[in-house]
Structure 1
Amino acid sequence: MSDKDLRYTAEHEWVDARDGVATIGITAYAAERLGDVVYVDLPEVGAAVQAGTVIGEIESTKSVGELYAPVTGTVTEVNAAVVDAPETVNADPLGEGWLVRVDYAELPELLGADEYEALTRA
């Protein structure tokens, strides 16, 4: 998967939306800014999430960042491997470091790769 195929939020989450399921993680930019991730708190499977609301936390040696839901729906899967090995978020934020999967009915307007890149340069 190319980062050009993903959609993004201004809060530095990426979304890979396919067939009503959104795979969500934090961007490489966010992972780099956070520093070494040491703890990840994710919602429970079955939790209802609302776009724009906090659904988890990512703690690093530098700070604690909040994970926002980019879509409204129901959590269908959490990446337990990231909970057990949080450093995976730094090592592969766009791949093995994905965080949650959410079933959604409607995909909100999200940023394209070029728009997100412009945001990170601002």
Structure 2
Amino acid sequence: MKKYTITVNGVAYDVTVEEGTSSAVQSAPKAAAPAPAAAPAAPAPAAAPAGTQGSVEVTSPMPGKILAVKKNPGDAVKAGDPILVLEAMKMENDIVAPQDGTVASVNVSVGDSVESGAVLATLN
């Protein structure tokens, strides 16, 4: 076993690592981490009408704000085509189609705040 002290965001952690096994890693914080400020709850995006949801979900990889909607329901997309633009940490991130298909629904609007994992659009 090896012991390490790792500092993450100013909080030191003592970590014990077993070598050569796939057993669990034990860690204990040296000091209590400060509680993060609670973010205001974002309103739930309006759901698409029943029957228009696609089988492939395009989800948000991080919390942020929708800056642009580049594709509309019915538009054909190829894998890697941008569907939306998400602003996170003052950077613009293209949210792209994971595969070829047709946009079935767009579940957000420009200006909406979204959480990580939120379904932004669906494809068929």
Greater Rg by CA? 2
| Greater strand share, structure number | 2
| Greater helix share, structure number | 1
